[in-house]
Amino acid sequence: MVLAAPCYICGKPAVLDGLCAECYDGAHPLVHVASPLEIQTCKRCGSVKVPGGWKTIILSSSEADELVKRQIDRLLSQQVERMVKTAEVSYEIENRLDRVVHIRLKAVGQSHPALAPHEEEYPVEVRLSYSTCDTCGMISGGYHEAILQIRADGRDVTEAEEQEMLDIVTRIAAKEYGRDSKAYATERDKTRKGFDLELGSEHMCRLVADEIQSAYLAERKENYKLVGQEKGGKRKYRVTILLRLPRWTVGDFVKVGDKPCQVVAVGKGSLTCHDLATGERFTITPKSSSWRLLAFAAPESDKRQYQVLSRAYGQPAQLMDARTFEMTDINQEQLDPDLVPGETAFFIIIDNKLYALPKDHSLSPPASSE
Q: Provide the minimum distance between the beta carbon of 229 and Zn ion in the complex, in angstroms, as a whole number.
A: 29
> Among residues 70, 66, 84, 80, which one has the least CA distance to residue 122?
80
The residue among 70 and 206 lying less far from Zn ion, judged by its C-beta, is 70
Minimum Å gap between C-beta 7 and Zn ion is 3
The nearest distance, CB 350 to Zn ion, in angstroms, is 54
Inter-residue contact 292 to 309 (CB < 8 Å): no
Q: Which is nearer to Zn ion, 184 or 347 (CB)?
A: 184
Burial class (CB in 10 A: 0-12, 13-18, 19+), 262: buried
CA angle, corner 187, sides to 181 and 188, nearest 5? 130
| Distance in Å, CB of 84 to Zn ion, minimum | 19
Cα–Cα distance between 359 and 339 in angstroms, integer?
Answer: 9
Least Å distance, CB 119 to Zn ion, is 17
| Nearest CB to Zn ion, comparing residues 13 and 36 | 13
Distances 304 to 182, 301, 308, 318, 324 between C-alpha atoms, Å? 50, 8, 13, 15, 10
Q: Output 4 or 277, the one with its CB closest to Zn ion.
A: 4
CB-CB contact of 262 with 251 (8 Å): yes
Taking the least distance from each CB to Zn ion, the nearer of 26 and 299 is 26
Nearer of residues 7 and 263 to Zn ion, judged by Cβ: 7
Q: Nearer Cβ to Zn ion, position 75 or 357? A: 75
CA angle (16 as vertex; 11, 18 as ends), nearest 5: 45
Q: How far is the CB of 71 from Zn ion (least distance, A)?
A: 12
Contacting positions for Zn ion (CB under 5 A): 7, 9-10, 20, 23, 42, 44-45, 47, 133, 136
Nearest distance in Å: CB 65, Zn ion = 19
- Check: CB of residue 35 under 8 Å from CB of residue 73: no
Select from 286, 266, 166, 288 the least CA-distant residue to 215.
266
Contact residues for 197 (Cβ-Cβ < 8 A; gap 6+): 147, 148, 150, 169, 185, 186, 187, 188, 208
Q: Which of 193, 191, 189 is nearest to 152 (CA)?
A: 193
Q: Residue 103 forms beta bridges with which residues?
A: 93, 124
Q: Which is nearer to Zn ion, 25 or 161 (CB)?
A: 25
**Longest Cα–Cα distance in the chain:** 116
What does the alpha-carbon distance between residue 216 and residue 290 come to, in Å, rounded to a whole number? 18
What 3-state class would DSSP assign to 261?
A: strand
For Zn ion, the closer CB: 126 or 133: 133
Chain-centre distance for alpha carbon 40? 28
Closest distance between Zn ion and the C-beta of residue 177, in Å? Answer: 11
- The minimum distance between CB 80 and Zn ion, in angstroms, equals 25
- Fill in the amino acid letter for 4: A
